[in-house]
Amino acid sequence: DTAVSQTPKYLVTQMGNDKSIKCEQNLGHDTMYWYKQDSKKFLKIMFSYNNKELIINETVPNRFSPKSPDKAHLNLHINSLELGDSAVYFCASSQDKYRSSYEQYFGPGTRLTVT
């Protein structure tokens, strides 16, 4: 069983469109994250949700809006897509509650290409 899954795996779209990427984890974790990996392979956190509440919000344009319908899902909606949004987006999750290890489990990534 896949622990953290993302759909779609590939997404090609035109500038100005609105698109969503879905993420689901079946690990029973409390916290989920979105990361962006650019063309230089630099991995940077975008958002973090804990029990459906936004916890981390890095300096991301407000065209990006995460939505967490329940703690097993964290979707990423992007409005008015721009060329610079082209990247691989990774979803991750971690357990959270007084544990010393907070390792994150990453999904397979969604490669977004904006043309």
- Alpha carbons within 13 angstroms on the beta-carbon side of residue 8 total 9
Instruction: Candidates 18-26, 64-72, 75-83, 98-106: pick the segment binding another protein (CB under 8 A).
Output: 98-106
Contacts with another protein: how many residues (CB under 8 A)?
A: 31
Q: Does 7 bind another protein (CB under 8 A)?
A: no
Find the radius of gyration of the CA atoms of the chain. Answer: 14
Binding segment for another protein among 16-24, 43-51, 65-73, 79-87 (CB under 8 A)? 43-51
Direct distance between the N- and C-terminal alpha carbons of the chain, in angstroms, rounded to an integer: 34
Give the C-alpha separation, 31 to 57, whole Å.
Answer: 13
Contact residues for another protein, defined by CB under 8 A: 4, 30-31, 33, 35, 41-45, 48, 50, 55-58, 90, 92, 96-99, 101-109
